Amino acid sequence: MSRLSSPEIRPGLFIISISLLALLLCNIGYASHYFYLLGQMIEVKIGGFVFQKQLQALINEGLMAVFFLLITIEIRYECLYGFLNNPKYLMLPLMGALGGVLAPASIYLLFNYNTANAVGWAIPVATDIAFSLACLMLLGKAFSPRLRIFLLSLAIFDDLAAILIVAVYYTKNLSLWMLVLALGITLFMFVLREMGCRRHSVYFVTGAILWISLLKSGVHATLTGSVVALMLPMKNDQGHQAKRLYENLLPWVQYLILPLFTFANSGVVLSQSGSSSLFLGIVLGLIVGKPLGIISFSYLSNYLKLSSMPKGMNYLHIVGISLLCGIGFTVSLFIGSLAFEHQTNLLNTMKVSVLLASLLSSFLGLTFLYVYCEKENE
């Protein structure tokens, strides 16, 4: 079977194709139709309760919560029973992610400090899990499965940091009461788990209420997926029930949720642009800052004996993975939309910068890993 026809990489190729479709539509005269569709209001009425949300926001904050649920289930399973069960293995991606947040933000501010663009400092801190994994899957069996877990760990730590940044820095109207309610619901799920409740449906219904409370609190509601995944019972049956849930959700996420998100966030009119310092800050932050921060903090972590290198991995693997972590697509675009809301030129510059940096990072990371892995297999 051809590497490109392998079931392992079809979701990645599909997502990339959807991204190109959105870009094409916005640059051959259909931009107004594209943005009109995404701006449609979705309304749900249940008794006296009325819920309204734009289609794009519903995709970004609703469907993507399921994506974070899926990813957090996998990371939690690996922490309990797999590759990350060793605390020193866990510290390596955690420290790498810390460097992968600090270095890109510093490079961005180097170009935008004391300007109106400084508000976008968090744009290059995130790693797009779906696109980076899609790129890694293009290597087929040429890479160790542990590289996938290491990349997943790095990316989710990055994105959780980005979500916390959104909650603290980019939240304009924080509702304390709704936050207290969200914490109460989380505590309720924790008590359910400790009492031995194993019905996933109970957690999902409670999670839906948590999603609404987080949405109303001003905190990015995708955090719901990670919270629910952390509350699911996993120790009683060695994680088998959670693993089945993961396997059932995976095709829905790969072939519906991620493609919808990609389509809703890839559209940009390439001819429109704004600040060059914004462009440089984002592009260099992702292409240079990400690998620089991840590599240096990973090395520091090992040097200080806070972590240890997993068997089958070395620093050249970390270099390749760190280059892929410059693919900032999803959360980077979301943070940029918050930072430059209603500033069309800056929004377009931000989108072009993120897309270009993500494309270059994928090329550099894939090329490096492909050449190195091929040499390893000789």
Q: Tens digit of pLDDT for each residue in 200-246? A: 999 999 999 999 898 888 777 888 998 999 999 988 778 888 889 98
Q: Is 218 left (phi over 0), alpha (psi -120 to 50) or beta?
A: left
pLDDT at position 122: 93
Q: How many angstroms separate the CA atoms of 196 and 154, rounded?
A: 31
What is the arithmetic mean of pLDDT over 132-150? 75
- Per DSSP, what are the bridge partners of residue 53? 42
- Per DSSP, what are the bridge partners of residue 49? 46
* Residue position matching structure tokens 């961005």: 108
Q: How many angstroms separate the CA atoms of 301 and 322, rounded?
A: 15
- Alpha-helix residue ranges (DSSP H) falling in the chain: 10-26, 31-38, 55-58, 64-81, 87-112, 129-137, 145-169, 176-194, 200-217, 223-231, 240-252, 258-266, 276-284, 290-303, 315-324, 329-339, 344-377
Contacts of 263 (CB under 8 A, 6+ apart): 18, 19, 21, 22
> Which tens digits make up the pLDDT trace of 287-341?
999 999 999 999 999 999 888 887 778 888 899 999 999 998 877 887 888 888 7
Answer whether 146's CB lies under 8 Å from 312's CB: yes
- Degrees to nearest 5, angle at CA 95 with 93 and 99: 110
C-beta atoms surrounding 207 within 10 Å: 24
- Smallest CA-to-CA distance from 332 within 104, 36, 74, 68 is with 104
pLDDT at position 291: 95
* Residue position matching structure tokens 């799920």: 189
Helix (H) or strand (E) holding 53: strand 49-54
> Is residue 376's pLDDT more than 70?
no
Q: Between 64-81 and 223-231, two packed helices, what is the crossing angle to 10 degrees?
A: 40
Q: Which two tokens stand for residue 298?
A: 């990973």
What is the average pLDDT value for the chain, to the nearest integer? 84
Q: How many angstroms separate the CA atoms of 324 and 66, rounded?
A: 23
- Per DSSP, what are the bridge partners of residue 46? 49
Q: Is 235 helix (H, G, I), strand (E, B) or coil?
A: coil
What is the arithmetic mean of pLDDT over 1-13? 55
Q: Spell 188-203 as b/e; 16+ CB within 10 A means b.
A: ebeebbeeeeeebeeb
Residue 45 phi, psi (nearest 5): -115, 125
Residue 286 phi, psi (nearest 5): -80, -45
pLDDT at position 172: 67
Residue 66 phi, psi (nearest 5): -70, -35
Q: How many angstroms separate the CA atoms of 299 and 95, rounded?
A: 9
- Smallest CA-to-CA distance from 260 within 66, 7, 28, 88 is with 66
**pLDDT cut 90: percent of the chain above it:** 31
Q: In one letter, which amino acid is 347? A: L
- Per DSSP, what are the bridge partners of residue 52? 43
pLDDT at position 4: 42
Q: What is the set of domains in the chain, with CATH numbers?
A: 3-52+87-162+268-377 (1.20.1530.10)
| Of residues 76 and 46, more confidently modeled | 76
Q: How many angstroms separate the CA atoms of 67 and 258, rounded?
A: 8
| Of residues 104 and 9, more confidently modeled | 104
Q: How many angstroms separate the CA atoms of 210 and 219, rounded?
A: 11
